[in-house]
Amino acid sequence: MYRVLLVDDDRLILRGLQSILPWQEMNCEVIGTAVDGQEGLRLIREKHPDILLTDIRMPNMDGLTMAAAIRSEYPGMQMTVLTAFRDFEYARQAIRLGVCRYLLKPSDLEELREAVKEMVRRLDELRGMRTPAESPEEQAAHGYVVENALSWMREHCTEHITLEDVAGQVFVSQWHLSKLINRETGMGFLDLLSRMRVEQAKKQLSDPSKRISDAAFESGFSDVAHFSKTFKKITGRTPGEYRNSPDRQA
C-alpha cells in the first residue's frame, strides 16, 4: 500500500480527509497527520510517505518553497494541494514545481478521489521504471530551491551563517542543499559565501575613509589576515591594491 501523509492547520479537515476517502480501496493508508508545515516536513523525513495531501498556505511556511523543497529532495513523492487560496499564478507555479493537483476548498469527494487515483497512477508508473529521468518539475524545483537559498545568503552573508541556517530557510536537508548548490554554481557553500562577502567588501572599500579592517569585519570576515588572503584569491589583488586601482569595479 502507498503511504499517505495529511497536512492542514484545520483539524476538522484532517479528520474529514481521514474518514471520507476510501483509502484501502485505492491501495493507500494514512500513516500520519500534521497541523503545520514544519511538523509536516518532520514527518516526511521520518516516515517517507509516498503521497502528500496538504494545504499550501499555513503559518510560518511559504507554500511554494515547501512544494519546491519536497519535489527537489523527494522526487518520487506525489503531492496534491487542498487550499482556500485562489490565485491562478500561484496555482500555476505550484504545478510547475511538481504539485499533481491544486484543489480549492471546499472540494467534493469525487475531486479528492480523482486526485488520489492520479497520484497512485503516477506512483505505479514510477515503480515500473528502473532509473526514472529527472523531470522538468524536478529541475524547476531544484532551481527554485537554489535561487531562494542564494537570495537569502546574499541578504545575510555579512552575518555568521551556516549551511544549516540556509537549509532551514528553504526546508531541505543540509546534504541536499550542498549538493544542489555545487551542481548549480560549481562551488561549495563556503566558497560561495566567501565570494558574496568579497562583493560586499568591494562596496565597503569604495569609501576611502573606511579602514580595511572595518571593511573586512563589516563584510562578514572575522579575521583581517583571512580576509586579505581570500580577497586576493578571488580578485587577484589585495584589498589595498583593489582600493587604489582605477578599475576597481572590474
Let me know: does 66 contact 41? Beta carbons within 8 Å: yes
Phi first, then psi: give them for residue 97, nearest 5 degrees: -90, 10
Does 181 map to a domain?
no
Of 97, 127, 157, the one marking the end of a domain is: 127
Of 77, 111, 127, the one marking the end of a domain is: 127
The CA distance from 63 to 85, in Å, is: 11
DSSP string, 90-119: HHHHHHHTTEEEEEESSPPHHHHHHHHHHH
Instruction: Note down the domain range covering 222.
Output: 192-244
Same-domain check for residues 223 and 118? no
What's the total number of domains in the chain? 2
Same-domain check for residues 27 and 123? yes
Does 26 map to a domain?
yes
Same-domain check for residues 114 and 10? yes
Rounded to the nearest integer, the mean pLDDT of the chain is 91
The amino acid at 121: R
Task: Output the pTM of the full model.
Answer: 0.86
Share of the chain above pLDDT 90, in %: 69
pLDDT in tens, 99-148: 999 998 888 899 999 999 999 999 999 888 878 788 899 999 999 999 99
pLDDT in tens, 74-103: 999 999 998 887 888 888 988 998 899 999
Residue 122's Cβ-side half-sphere holds a number of Cα atoms within 13 Å equal to 18
The CA distance from 64 to 145, in Å, is: 10
